[in-house]
Structure 1
Amino acid sequence: MDYIKALNIDINQLDEKKQKTSYKIKYVKEYIIGWLQVSVNRENIKYINFIDCMCNAGIYKDNDLGTSMEVLQNFIDSASKFTSKEFHIYLNDYDKKRIEIIKTLSTYFLDNKITTNLKIHYNCEYADAYIQSFTIFNETLLSNASTVLFVDPYNFQSIKLLSIKSFLEHYYCELYYNIFTSDYIRNKNNSNSFYEILNTTEELETVDDMIEYIRQFLKTEKMKYSFSYGFRNCKNVEIYQILFVTPNIRGLEKLKEAIIKVFKDVEYYRNQAKKEECQQSLFIEDDDEKNFERNILNYCGKEIQNKLCNNFQCKTIDYPDIEIFVLENSPLSDSKIIEYVLKPLISNGKIRKCNKTKNHNNYKDDSYIFIG
């Protein structure tokens, strides 16, 4: 359906959608599907919340929907099936015209739907002030709640890191945070404001330095696990990374399921391009898709094997700690750890399996000695 024409939306108020944006939306949407399935089946959960603190207009010039409107479709479906739960979507943008457009879209999608247990909350504020206005969220986020905070700023300087941390310390939730690494690298030496945004005077020379700093800064007593996934243009230049932070290791497992479905375990997303413009993309069709995927898994496996050996040299480590390290530092899912990480390390003599159980094929209830 052409929503723009049908709802008389001013196309001049809409943004062009880039190729990587489509995959970003697919990535978040796929995770939300799995997260909803878990949330609705938890007896202690009453409130299910999605917060988009910079929601834009909810639609692009090509008529494709934005992240929050794609999420709304899933919320409508879940709300109709699980009537004992309350579903809340919080939409905020500093631009009044964008908020009016997303209101029009939301109203259209909700029209004639029996979803009295689904409510949309609209605000028009700058993101920093919005996510620290706890009175907006306290009723549905403080207890018996499952919540995702989606922070997708217009540029690196749109929101302060301290504001996000304040939210994470106040509520039990999961975070998607889009970090414009290219913006930072281009301008970090030209303005002190970047360090104000990051709340540090520490010199962060590389993207890896910055991402690691942000990951550690956002970790709280509750928010223990994180993973960052990169998005690059067709020339293989990184534009941004989407950092995911969760209080539960199972959140990372669900995230990896989304990555498998959308990106097929690829280390990072890279835009497709015409051959005359750029090098071949990872997403151009391969004659043998199974071999292609296996090669990617082997590559990612070797990368994390090296990181594990460097990090745990001469130590004995239990499987759960290995699992956490792999999930936080590679795109591999937990189901790939034994085949693409542990078995190759054992066969190459880099680790030794302790065989703590009688079943030597039991890898998860075991410990591993990393050879020095």
Structure 2
Amino acid sequence: MKELQFANTISALRKQKGITQDQLASYVGVSKAAVSKWETGLSYPDILLLPKLATYYNLSIDELLGYKPQLTKEDIQKLYAELSQEFASKPFDEVYSRIRSIIDEYYSCFPLLMQMAVLLLNYQSMAGEKQQDVINNAIELCNRIQQSSDDLRLIRQSRSIEAHCQLMLKQPERVLELLGDDFELYTGNEIIVATAYQLLQNPQKAKETLQVSMYQYVIGILSIAPNYLMMHIHDSNQFDEIVNRKEKIINTFDVKNLHYNAALVFYLSAAQGYMMQKNEDKAAEMIRKYVQVCNMIEFPFTLHGDGFFDLIDEWLARELDLGSNAPRDEQTIKTSIITSITNNPHFKTLLERTDVNAMLTNLQHKLGCD
């Protein structure tokens, strides 16, 4: 494949320059037959000739060979989406093998390695017996970033992804080593930054700064909720209070439309908690709300703002490595929406209820997961 790519490149460059194979051969100091072999993919130029060829065409050697040591953010997003779709349509081992080849080819493209770690983490549940190998591969990528990258943002992200992986491998000591056993006090830096923008006569940027901060805090509160709920499973009053307060946040900020996954994970966790408390009626009510959110999802899903958070769309596209796109392909998302209920042993008796079974059947039909 690489030979064909070089052959096409060297042939196209010669034709663009308007010269014959004889003329190129004369300049480089080889025979016309040698140039012909390069252009048909039968051979490569001697390595010592590459600088002369590159100079002749005013290119770098990497450009001449069609090699990109680094990929752009757009390249990475496109590749991530392509691989994500392949997981939905091809055998896991085939896609996994391609990912490993890409990792080898772009060994030091750290933004790409970060997204490959995220991709592996998002699809590790499909790996079967290779699940631990996939998780360990994601950890290796994170370690490579931590050891060799000088991008502090990427290093922080890699620590977070590795910590997630280590939790899956039941390694809490490593998690604390990565993230620390304490957390920083709230500093209000976003308020300071917004005030600075105001002083610079840039009120739009000040508003964006505060909006983005509020958005992240709202989603962050809901992301914490499932774990906090499980810590109060034996205190039904406190459990109910947590559910009530988090629901008020969901409704106040219209999270069902703003960030469907945050709402879905919360309702699913609340339903599981109520089943553990043997309260089927409340669990069924949480499943009803879960299904309600599912029915509101518009595919293909993208993260977005709304009438209140009207300044975050540009930030999402700019700051998120995958932009506003979902981290998994559409079919996998739809399937996981259903299996999150059907494969959860806590819901076994709940699924026998006529009302719950009917809701789930209708949802399967709507999502095309019959």
- TM-score band by shorter chain is under 0.3
The higher relative CO (CA closer than 8 Å, separation ≥ 6) is in 1
Structure richer in strand, relative to its length: 1
TM-score (ref. length: structure 1): 0.25
TM-score (ref. length: structure 2): 0.25
